[in-house]
Amino acid sequence: MSLREIEGELVRFRDERDWKRYHTPKNLAISIAVELGELLEHFQWRENEEILASMNDPAERENVEDELADVLIYLVLLAHELGIDLEKAALKKIAKNARKYPVGGRE
Amino acid sequence: MSLREIEGELVRFRDERDWKRYHTPKNLAISIAVELGELLEHFQWRENEEILASMNDPAERENVEDELADVLIYLVLLAHELGIDLEKAALKKIAKNARKYPVGGRE
Amino acid sequence: MSLREIEGELVRFRDERDWKRYHTPKNLAISIAVELGELLEHFQWRENEEILASMNDPAERENVEDELADVLIYLVLLAHELGIDLEKAALKKIAKNARKYPVGGRE
Amino acid sequence: MSLREIEGELVRFRDERDWKRYHTPKNLAISIAVELGELLEHFQWRENEEILASMNDPAERENVEDELADVLIYLVLLAHELGIDLEKAALKKIAKNARKYPVGGRE
């Protein structure tokens, strides 16, 4: 499924609930920060190895999946509100990065 | 293009540069926060209407596109590192939200 | 009470519980982001006027006080771990800003 | 110097430049996130030991001092706008934490 189809789902979800009025750029940007905070809570006092191991715990895994999803959801909604094609923006940025950091070049 | 294809591009990019060793869960989570901060800088002192109007300025638009892309890129890389299918996680979360907030229900 | 005294309280609190081992720069930085996310949750879907009005609700006010305090607490602990005098750093930065933005100058 | 004196300095600075109109709760909250992102950039690809060692480099140290100060500055300004006494809030929260996590208790 493409990012554009996920965007379509989210916009339909929002319109069915008449929530567009809440979806200002600032509110959506703040929402990304809120969800990122919730994601980071799972990493807060754990070492990297513990974080990776915690993914074997089904409940913890599902919680982290939900937080990652929430960050993505608000990111897609923010791009939508700004009239930005997130998929195209990502591919363009990857191409830019490839020029900026050529393989075999200095980091 | 699907999120999985973007993930494939990013992992290839990373491996060509031998950067996997930097991609710990904490480093990638911190990177999302760094890029989100750069995105928010574009909204910091502007009203919502000014933010939307600023998207008509090609240079400003490209900057915001790049920041949105950077948040997505690190989100996809973090999901990859945790062995999480971000697309599947997003669809599952949208379905969960639909049950939590039924159409016509109280907000 | 000075920031240095608050720092003293926090370090004592931490040492009594033997928590220094968790207080790495990255963990404390992540903690600031976690607490900031919790603070932002109170602003997420509210207009600025609603946020200000919500401060008249004692329970909501206490919640926001707690989140502001948590951000400060982790900021002070991070500065401590880095060996930085946060009070001095703030005064130095205010002086820098005064030179950068002279009164009557252009914004 | 107390947090209240720092607050006094910042409010005077703001009023001399007629910037109060920009200091809405959301703008100041977003500003904390922007500055936190800039702080985190210094930690992004470094191990904790490298971060601590980097404090011996005067230029890097000053940069981190400035970012820590910026987070504090916007935090103090946000508390001011909400009519919250940040110092009192911090001391109250430390007392709450002491009750929640008694010395010798389970973590």
ipTM associated with this complex = 0.96
Q: So what's the pLDDT on residue D106?
A: 56
Residue contacts between A and B (CB atoms, under 8 Å): 158
Neighbours of A51 (CB within 10 A): 20
| Cβ within 8 Å of residue A90, ≥6 positions away | A3, B6, B69, B72, B73
Contacts of D33 in chain B (CB under 8 A): 36-37, 40
Model confidence at A82, pLDDT cuts 50, 70, 90, reads: very high
Q: From B46, which residue of chain A is nearest by alpha-carbon distance?
A: A26
Which of A2-6, A29-33, B24-28, D75-79 shows the lowest per-residue confidence on average (mean pLDDT)?
Answer: A2-6
Chain-chain contact of B22 with D45 (C-beta, under 8 angstroms): yes
What is the nearest CA distance from B1 to chain C, expressed in angstroms? 31
Residue segments in chain C with a per-residue pLDDT below the cut of 70: 105-107
The chains in contact with chain C, meaning 3 or more Cβ pairs closer than 8 Å, are A, B, D
- Angle CA(D23)–CA(B64)–CA(D76) in degrees, nearest 5? 25
What is the rounded distance in angstroms from the CA atom of residue B35 to the CA atom of residue B71?
6
Instruction: Tell me the three state secondary structure of residue A2.
Output: strand
pLDDT tens per residue, chain D (107 residues)?
Answer: 789 999 999 999 999 999 999 999 999 999 999 999 999 999 999 999 999 999 999 999 999 999 999 999 999 999 999 999 999 999 999 999 999 999 976 55
Question: C-alpha dihedral over A99, D37, A41, B90, to 10 degrees?
Answer: -50
- Using CA atoms, how far residue C10 sits from A14, B38, C76, in Å, is 44, 31, 8
Contacts of A26 in chain D (CB under 8 A): 26, 30
By Cβ distance, the residue of B17, B33, B91 closest to A103 is: B17
What is the rounded distance in angstroms from the CA atom of residue B65 to the CA atom of residue A84?
7
Contacts of B31 in chain D (CB under 8 A): 44
Task: Copy the structure tokens of residue B84.
Answer: 């999480």
Contact D105, C20 (CB under 8 A): no
Q: So what's the pLDDT on residue A107?
A: 52
Q: So what's the pLDDT on residue D104?
A: 79
Q: What percent of chain A has pLDDT over 90?
A: 94
What is the rounded distance in angstroms from the CA atom of residue D51 to the CA atom of residue D57?
10
Q: So what's the pLDDT on residue C14?
A: 96
Residue segments in chain B with a per-residue pLDDT below the cut of 70: 105-107
Q: So what's the pLDDT on residue D107?
A: 52
Contacts of A33 in chain C (CB under 8 A): 36-37, 40
Q: So what's the pLDDT on residue D22?
A: 97
Q: So what's the pLDDT on residue C40?
A: 98
Chain-chain contact of A48 with B25 (C-beta, under 8 angstroms): yes
pTM, 2 dp: 0.96
Contacts of B16 in chain A (CB under 8 A): 103
Q: So what's the pLDDT on residue A104?
A: 80
Residues 6 to 45 of D: which have CB under 8 A from any C CB?
Answer: 6, 9-10, 13, 16-17, 24-26, 29, 32-33, 36, 39-40, 43
Q: From B16, which residue of chain A is nearest by alpha-carbon distance?
A: A103
Q: Angle, nearest 10°, between helix axes C58-82 and D58-82?
A: 170
| Cα-only R_g, chain A | 17
Average pLDDT (A75-102) is 96
**C105's torsion region: left (phi>0), alpha (psi -120 to 50) or beta?**
beta
Counting runs of H as helices and runs of E as strands, what totals does chain C give? 5, 0
What is the rounded distance in angstroms from the CA atom of residue D84 to the CA atom of residue C18?
31
- Indicate the burial class of B31 (C-beta count within 10 angstroms; 0-12, 13-18, 19 or more): buried
Closest CA to C70 of D13, A27, D92, D23: D92
